[in-house]
Chain A
């Protein structure tokens, strides 16, 4: 059974810092990995998707990497802003199942 773990569970940084969120998964036979953003009381949006054949994807200040063999992905946020404050969820798609990690709650302080 696929298990997805995210570290840290919560992170608070001052504005302007670069930061890294970590995601690990137990079964490397995945089709893709998606990073989702969830704002309080709202649904999920997905800034980044990495297909299994890819090593990284970039969208603006966000960069996600994937090392399928070791079961790891990182989300790098450059020059963080208060508007980046949200919960970030990592989800892997394998078989017919989309499995989520527990999320990292990010707070960027002005």
Chain B
């Protein structure tokens, strides 16, 4: 597609429920990142995928968070047993292999509200 697409754009869920967030990267982009941005705060790294390599999960805040990506396609971020502190905007970015030249393109994000 022309840009990075994220869905849903907004999600309100009850505490304790599981949610799944989707990121559709730009076609052909090998690298994909997930970031979290809490209200009024900076971007917090969550997880990084590069092609078929093992993902860098070092930013996931707890074992309630997991993410998957098959090859260079869609990625899903799953949050189990959501808590109120999970409320944030979840941003996805993708980049081609020569990202030193082209950098990263971000989606519009998913605003998650846990009530």
Contacts and interface: CB of A to CB of B under 8 A. Distances in A.
A96 B109 contact: no
Contacts of B102: 49
B43 A46 contact: no
Please classify the interface of chain A as helix (H, G, I), strand (E, B), loop, or mixed, using the class held by over half of its residues: strand
B104 A34 contact: yes
B92 to A, nearest CB: 9
Interface stretch (A20-28, A58-66, A68-76, A98-106): A98-106
Contacts of B107: 43
Contacts of B100: 31-32, 51-52, 93
Interface in B27-50: 31, 33, 35, 42-43, 45, 48, 50
Number of chain A interface residues as a range? 20 to 34
B108 A42 contact: yes
Contact of B103 (A32, A41, A103): A32
Given A89-B43, A91-B104, 11 more contacts: A36-B106, A42-B109, A43-B107, A44-B93, A46-B105, A46-B106, A93-B100, A93-B103, A96-B31, A99-B45, A103-B42
